[in-house]
Amino acid sequence: MNSIEERIKELKQEKNAVILAHYYQCPEIQQIADYVGDSYYLSKIVKEAGQELIIFCGVRFMAESAKILSPHKKVLLPVADAGCPMADMADTNKIKELKKQYPDAAAVCYINTSVEVKALCDICVTSSNAFDIIRKLPERKIIFLPDRNLSAYIADKCPEKEFIIYPGYCIVHNKIMPEHITELKIKHPNAPVAAHPECRKEVLALADFVGSTAEILSYAKSSDSPELIVVTEEGIRHALEHQSPKKKFYFPYPQMICANMKKTTIENVLWALEDEAAEIHIEEGLRISALNCLKEMHRLGN
Ligand code: 13P
Ligand code: SF4
């Protein structure tokens, strides 16, 4: 262990801090984290963890969700401009218009959204619980935002619902085309394909399994296959290889790397712990309006 990691460990103890990291973070961040998970798991851990200081290694909407759920805790996002371009695609004025246009629809937002967007919606979902939650909603019409690919995937699985789909997408997952997968399948014909639902419909059609990052990890663990084609951000490779060191994992080209997830370095984590400057602040009225969305997700989710 080098001195930066030692210092992080000392400060963590001294300050009673906890480090949370998403699977898309760099391996060295995942190694020093107390909890590594998908966005749903991390949103639950925030409340369960006893520590009052949370270092959230991920992107802004994740740290904001932590603050919404645990207002009395100090939540730090080590790199202030680590955002999510898909979350930025959800425009509050357009959402207000859609709600006016479809007053009897449930407004469902992906957790990849700002506090302002969550404050306008009825319930929040993640890729691991979207299907379970949406099918439980009493409303037949669903305004789903901002990910058009996840919406289309859930809409196919819920034919009893009518989806009003918002045109957002993840720049990392959406760039993968079916031919990138078929190229890999030619090279590795026996490897099953596991893909994240933020991928295009035509890509998901080629997948043997579709799920969130945590679900892809479970699938890889239980699969009898010694090799797997994985269609999501490459940060997940660290957890996949740690979990199944004998299996081989192939990722598509062009590389799936979320530049925002990769902004956080080990030094940023140390600096965040040292000066506690990168704090998430949310105006209380806005936080309360956004809280319902996340509470509803935890009530109806698994
Ligand atoms: P998960 O919900 O699978 O963690 O995904 C979050 C995300 O940002 C995917 O791009
Ligand atoms: Fe946002 Fe996509 Fe990066 Fe996830 S991978 S944080 S959805 S840009």
How crowded is residue 147: how many other Cβ atoms within 10 Å of its Cβ?
30
pLDDT digits (tens, 9 = 90+) for 11-55: 999 999 999 999 999 999 999 999 999 999 999 999 899 999 999
The Cα 46–Cα 143 span in angstroms is: 28
Does ligand 2 come within 6 angstroms of the Cβ of 291? no
Roughly what angle, to the nearest 10 degrees, separates helices 60-69 and 39-48? 30
Contacts of 13 (CB under 8 A, 6+ apart): none
Site to probe by mutation for ligand 2, drawn from 24, 84, 114, 126 as the one with most ligand atoms within 8 Å of Cβ, is 84
pTM of the predicted structure, to 2 decimals: 0.96
Site to probe by mutation for ligand 1, drawn from 196, 217, 236, 257 as the one with most ligand atoms within 8 Å of Cβ, is 196
State the burial class of residue 7 (Cβ atoms within 10 Å of its Cβ: 0-12, 13-18, 19+).
middle
- Bridge partners (DSSP) listed for residue 156: none
Predicted pLDDT of residue 47: 84
Residue 191, phi then psi, degrees to nearest 5: -85, 120
List C-alpha distances in Å: 134 to 98, 186, 196, 249: 18, 36, 18, 32
Domains of the chain: 3-83+261-281 (3.40.50.10800), 86-169+287-301 (3.40.50.10800), 178-250 (3.40.50.10800)
Sheet holding 106-110, edge to edge: 123-125, 106-110, 141-145, 162-165
Does ligand 2 come within 6 angstroms of the Cβ of 39? no
Residue environment code for 86-113, b if the CB has 16+ CB neighbours within 10 A, otherwise e = bbebbeeeebeebbeebeebbbbbbbbb
Does ligand 1 come within 6 angstroms of the Cβ of 264? no
Does ligand 2 come within 6 angstroms of the Cβ of 59? yes
Please tell me the residue having the least CA distance from ligand 1 atom 9.
198
Predicted pLDDT of residue 168: 98
Residue environment code for 218-245, b if the CB has 16+ CB neighbours within 10 A, otherwise e = ebbeebeeeebbbbbbbbbebbbeeebe
DSSP 11-47: HHHHHTEEEEEETTS-HHHHHH-SEEE-HHHHHHHHH
The Cα 175–Cα 2 span in angstroms is: 37
Residue 105 has pLDDT above 90, yes or no: yes
Distance 211 CA to ligand 1 centre (A): 10
Token pair recorded at residue 78: 């080590």
Read off the amino acid at residue 232.
Answer: T
Q: Percent of the chain beyond pLDDT 70?
A: 99
pLDDT digits (tens, 9 = 90+) for 271-296: 999 999 999 999 999 999 999 999 99
Pairing assessment for the beta strands 141-145 and 162-165 based on DSSP bridges: parallel
pLDDT digits (tens, 9 = 90+) for 179-225: 999 999 999 999 999 999 999 999 999 999 999 999 999 999 999 99
Distance 222 CA to ligand 2 centre (A): 26
Please tell me the residue having the least CA distance from ligand 2 atom 2.
170
